[in-house]
Chains A and B, each alone.
Chain A
Amino acid sequence: MNLSLLILVPLLTAIALLLVKGLKQVRTVALIGSAAQLILCFVLFYFYQQARANGNTANFLFEDNYTWYAPLNINYHIGVDGISISMILLTAFVVMAGVLVSWKMERLNKEFFFLLIFLSLGAYGFFIALDLFTLFFFLEVAVIPKFLLIGIWGSGKKEYSAMKLALMLMGGSALVFVGLAGMYFYSDVNGAHSFDLIQIANMNIPVEVQKIFFPFAFIGFGIFTALFPFHTWVPDGHSSAPTAASMFLAGISMKLGGYGCLRVATYLMPDAAHEYSTIIIVLACIAILYGAFATMMQTDLKYINAYSSVSHCGFVLLGIGMLTKTSIDGAVMQMVSHGLMTALFFAVIGMIYDRTHTRQVAQLGGLMKMMPFISTVFVIAGLCSLGLPGFSGFVAEMTVFMGSWEKADAFYRIATIIACASIVVTAVYILRATGKAIMGPTVNDEHLSLGDAGWNEKLAAGLLILGIIVIGIVPFLLKDLINPGTELIMQKMGAAIGR
């Protein structure tokens, strides 16, 4: 299995998009391209499972290594483990759904789909990279399309939000850069410096060096995943973005940060991660609680979901900060689960907005009568968000809590209890919004004539719901997939804690 296909397919799709004309051709090409991505990801998943079943216990599979900049020892080095595969599958689901919900995008459609596909290219490249330069390259590739997507097709104060998002994310990558450069110059592979993730991991960077550069890398990636107090781009960015871009932002882009925190910061600098874990946990708890309470005050559906994303991504950071095997498993599962759930939520909010032209909860009511399908999807997304058993949210959050509880100290227990308590707040705002907008009496009589979802919207929602339910009912599928990956991280961590 050649992993470079994951970059090649979006690239070819993007080039093909430049050559065709008119909305019909453009969206057909985009759909074919994203379907090809999805199939490719399933093929990759299948081959990966085959290889594991055949007893291949290598840490990373399907590795490819080409020299890129020889004088600086920079390589194009790619490979996957279970964690990357789960992220890649998530990306493919969200991209496909994103293309489907943008089916009627009239304005500058060619540019729109081009940027969407280009964004997915950045995400795939990031998830398969095993060289820190390659990883950084793709991390930044994924920033600018977001700026344009929000700024051109967005709504509300879109220019402000786009600029805020781009600058904060670039600030994050600036910090990441310092962290990477620090690791590079303290690495020593046969007398040369290296960006290679595996080589750096085998080498054990001195603890004092880790202590300097871990905060750079962790905060840098943390900005991408709404680490408190750098979360402020999230609500503005998400709510101003067009539907598909919101889905990408919350579903994929925030996961880049979580994946980076885990794979780069924590895996390569375990001693420092151990050292700073209390700070990470405190920040994560603040994000969880603050996000949840801030959501209570929101009246706009997109803002509700955006602030709740801050809260949900807090669980990812909490899982990473706790540094137990179960909690890190939970963090990865939460990334996948939140990616699917929030993409579904944004998609359905987009569908409602397309019809009613409002996102204010107060102006909506009784939608279940007019659009039963959309309303059902809304309810499913909401229930997944508040962690109802049977959906992926329950599995992921439960695993994080179990992992956190394994730490016996009072500090960790209190942190876990605080995080658990936020679920109640989540239930309040989700049920309130659902009750008002979906159930209840019709507020606006004009809404009575509105139609239900089209085939494209049904397909998009179906895809994402499928993912949510499969993880919710057979969680061991995901758990077994990521297990070798998290075990590898824990090996490093165990050695570090032992020191």
Chain B
Amino acid sequence: MVNDFLILMKQELVITFIIFVLLFVKLSNKETKNETLINFVNILLTLNLASGFFMSREGDLFGDMFHTSELLTLEKNLLNLGTLIISLQSYNWLKDHKHVPEFYILMLSTLLGMFFMISSNNLLMFYLALELSTIPLAALANFDLEKRRSSEAAFKMIISSAFSSGLLLFGISLVYGTTGTLNFIELRGHSTVIGMITSFTSTPLNIFAFILLIAGFGFKISAVPFHLWTADVYEGSPVAVTSYLSVISKGAILFVLVSVLNTVFSPLNGMSEIWYNLLFIISVLTMIIGNLFALRQQNMKRFLAFSSIAQVGFILIGITGQSAEGSASVIYFVLVYIFSNLAAFGVINLISAVTGRENVDDYKGFYKTNKGLAWVLAIALFSLGGIPPTAGFFGKFFLLLAGAGKGNYLLITIAALNMVVSLYYYLRIIKVMFMDANEDPIENVKAGWSPKLAMIICIGGIIITGLASGAYNYIYSLVK
């Protein structure tokens, strides 16, 4: 039993351990150097990442509240990898910050929440984990302590996320009212367990509950029409937090959508069509509106925020596929997205920490002064735009192919044309960096070893995960 507990929850336990160590460091009187702390956390995160590849197996804990499997372990590992990359990138920003232990305590608490969320096997557990992963994020958004915009972002985030949590909770309580259970497995076999109701959708209350649930999730992944909080929060937060929000926190909810909720809702009697149509509409709206807003953004972070909204629209296409290929393509794309988006954020993070400049126009003539960084950003943007030979091309191709598997060619035609629109704004940044002249370009920035390492990981990931099929095949074998 104890063995089971240790093996099944190994990732959660390591994260909890790090949090506690940091708490004690904070409580003790001794001054610890920031650099030491950052390196310590990075090493432990690396260990956790490595341990994720060993001895992972399927199992349940706490009376079916907690469920894990090899696939779920892999998903957690991907989030862990992303967090590690962000931590490496933020070195320049963090080493002069006054509250390093708090930063990590908050960030890792949200990571812990996401782990539990992925492993949840019960709507209540899911809700609990979701809250654990959102509330500390609001505090993190406030971490540029001197900036007014940062606290504004935190406020916007906490209020709107509280509202969406309310919706979600209301939906959950309605589901409980009609079905008498919150357990996913029982919900899945619902029509047989309770003989009275033959179809989940035959009770209008259930459809209402379902819409509330979708609104709650939609908010967390900032799908249109629940996306309006995103841009302001992304712009106000420190870059490290923005990248965490747009990659890790989004990735976690997408994982939950694809490997937990999709398996619960799509096979429900009478539900699959509603589920499909909802995803279809949300996906198209998200792509189009995200793209349109991204076209004219002047702030790099805001620009990436809207582009990441559009990316979510593409990812939802993979979920509509409702096949093993679809699920694998979503998880694969999130992996690619972690590499690509974090590579882009890495450069912006570094430039912002060293020079404080974040506008698109500031990047004019960037290539003249910072060749290496300009190429990193360019490759990241190509990958986000889906240009081969980067992994983004493969990711987008597989997502759209999975969507086409359903026979909905309208959806993939819209998506394919949307990719062209999105390419426009990615190329716009490339144009600014490589082609525009500037009298006052950003000076040459020297990256330390830590951000450099993060960029090498990201660029290596962008190039290798696409051309070599290993990552996709591995994910596919687990999904199947």
Residues of A bordering B, CB below 8 Å: 68-72, 133, 136-138, 140-141, 143-144, 147-148, 151-152, 158-159, 162-163, 166-167, 170-171, 174-175, 177-178, 181-182, 184-185, 212, 216
Give how many A-B residue pairs fall within 8 Å (CB-CB): 89
User: Which of A143, A163, A181, A182 meets B431, CB within 8 Å?
Assistant: A163
Contact (Cβ within 8 A) A70 B469:
yes
Contact (Cβ within 8 A) B388 A72:
no
Residues of B bordering A, CB below 8 Å: 324-325, 328, 382, 387-389, 393, 397-398, 400-401, 404-405, 407, 409, 412-413, 416-417, 419-420, 423-424, 427-428, 430-431, 434-436, 469, 472-473, 476
Query: Which are the 5 A-B pairs with shortest beta-carbon distances?
Result: A174-B416, A181-B404, A71-B476, A151-B435, A69-B469
Which chain B residues border A175 with CB–CB below 8 Å?
416
Which residue of chain A has the shortest Cβ distance to B424 in the bound complex? A167
Which chain B residues border A167 with CB–CB below 8 Å?
420, 423-424, 427
Asked if A72 meets B435 with Cβ closer than 8 Å, knowing A178-B409, A185-B404, the reply is no
Contact (Cβ within 8 A) A144 B400:
no
* Interface secondary structure of B, over-half rule: helix
User: Which of B388, B397, B473 meets A141, CB within 8 Å?
Assistant: B388
Contact (Cβ within 8 A) B431 A71:
no
Contact (Cβ within 8 A) A159 B416:
no
Bound CA–CA A151/B378 (angstroms): 14
Residue in B382, B393, B424, B427 whose Cβ sees the most chain A Cβ within 10 Å? B427
Asked if A137 meets B431 with Cβ closer than 8 Å, knowing A69-B469, A70-B473, A181-B401, the reply is no
Which residue of chain B has the shortest Cβ distance to A176 in the bound complex? B416
Bound CA–CA A184/B420 (angstroms): 22
Question: Told that A71-B473, A148-B430, A167-B423 touch, could you supply 9 new A-B pairs with CB distance under 8 A?
Answer: A69-B472, A70-B469, A71-B325, A133-B397, A138-B388, A140-B387, A151-B431, A174-B416, A185-B404
Interface pairs (26), CB distance under 8 Å? A68-B469, A69-B469, A69-B473, A72-B398, A138-B388, A151-B430, A151-B431, A151-B434, A151-B435, A158-B435, A159-B431, A163-B428, A166-B423, A167-B424, A170-B419, A174-B416, A174-B420, A177-B400, A178-B404, A178-B412, A178-B413, A178-B416, A181-B400, A181-B404, A185-B405, A212-B409
Which chain A residues border B424 with CB–CB below 8 Å?
163, 167
User: Which of A71, A137, A147, A177 meets B388, CB within 8 Å?
Assistant: A137
Bound CA–CA A136/B416 (angstroms): 14
Bound CA–CA A70/B409 (angstroms): 24
Bound CA–CA A185/B406 (angstroms): 9
User: Which of A72, A138, A144, A158 meets B382, CB within 8 Å?
Assistant: A144
Asked if A184 meets B434 with Cβ closer than 8 Å, knowing A71-B325, A163-B424, A167-B424, the reply is no
What's the least CB distance linking A287 to chain B, in Å? 23
Contact (Cβ within 8 A) B393 A140:
yes
What's the least CB distance linking B409 to chain A, in Å? 6
Contact (Cβ within 8 A) A182 B409:
yes
Which chain B residues border A147 with CB–CB below 8 Å?
427, 430
Contact (Cβ within 8 A) B427 A163:
yes
Bound CA–CA A144/B430 (angstroms): 11
Bound CA–CA A70/B328 (angstroms): 13
Asked if A137 meets B393 with Cβ closer than 8 Å, knowing A71-B476, A175-B416, the reply is yes
Bound CA–CA A326/B47 (angstroms): 67
Which chain A residues border B393 with CB–CB below 8 Å?
137, 140
Contact (Cβ within 8 A) A141 B389:
yes
Which chain B residues border A184 with CB–CB below 8 Å?
401, 404
Residue in A68, A71, A147, A166 whose Cβ sees the most chain B Cβ within 10 Å? A71
Contact (Cβ within 8 A) A171 B398:
no
Bound CA–CA A171/B423 (angstroms): 10
Contact (Cβ within 8 A) B420 A171:
yes
Bound CA–CA A162/B420 (angstroms): 14
Which chain B residues border A162 with CB–CB below 8 Å?
431, 435
Which chain B residues border A140 with CB–CB below 8 Å?
387-388, 393
What's the least CB distance linking A93 to chain B, in Å? 25
Which chain B residues border A159 with CB–CB below 8 Å?
431, 435-436
What's the least CB distance linking B425 to chain A, in Å? 11
Bound CA–CA A167/B397 (angstroms): 18
Which chain A residues border B328 with CB–CB below 8 Å?
71
